């Protein structure tokens, strides 16, 4: 098992946020978005073959596989950006509150 180097207090204070503040949130967000990506890429593409409706001259399965997947990927990126912005605002507010809180005796 490789040895992980611990960060010094100086390195932590120099970073905008401590490295362990949002690791769990990052991992859950990435796992959820990757699950959505897998379902959209493989699930809907696979099951869309059974849809026999026509949208214009093409079957609905064509639209879902070619257009819906691309739109969903753009949506995934937008959700990730919004969530990361939210996490950063939460972390900045927590740091600001911690800096202005009176010290405990």
**pLDDT tens by residue, 68-83:** 788 889 999 999 999 9
- Of 78, 69, 83, 77, the C-alpha closest to 27 is 83
CB crowding 15-42: b at 16 or more within 10 Å, else e:
eeeeeebbeeeeeebeeebeebeeebee
pLDDT at 18: 56
- Of 88, 81, 97, 95, the C-alpha closest to 22 is 88
Q: What is the DSSP letter of 57?
A: T
CA gap 39, 27 in Å, rounded: 18
How open is the CA angle 87-89-94, to the nearest 5 degrees?
95
Model confidence pLDDT, tens digit, residues 34-91: 999 888 877 776 777 777 777 778 777 777 777 778 888 999 999 999 999 998 898 8
The Cβ of residue 61 has, within 10 Å, a number of other Cβ atoms equal to: 20
């Amino acid at each position: 098992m490789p040895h992980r180097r611990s960060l010094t207090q100086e390195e932590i204070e120099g970073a905008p946020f401590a490295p362990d503040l949002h690791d769990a949130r990052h991992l859950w967000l990435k796992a959820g978005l990757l699950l959505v990506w897998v379902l959209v890429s493989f699930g809907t593409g696979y099951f869309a073959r059974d849809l026999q409706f026509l949208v214009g001259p093409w079957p609905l399965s064509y639209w879902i596989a070619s257009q819906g997947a691309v739109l969903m990927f753009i949506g995934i990126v937008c959700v990730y950006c919004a969530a990361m912005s939210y996490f950063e605002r939460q972390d900045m507010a927590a740091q600001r509150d911690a800096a202005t809180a009176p010290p405990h005796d």
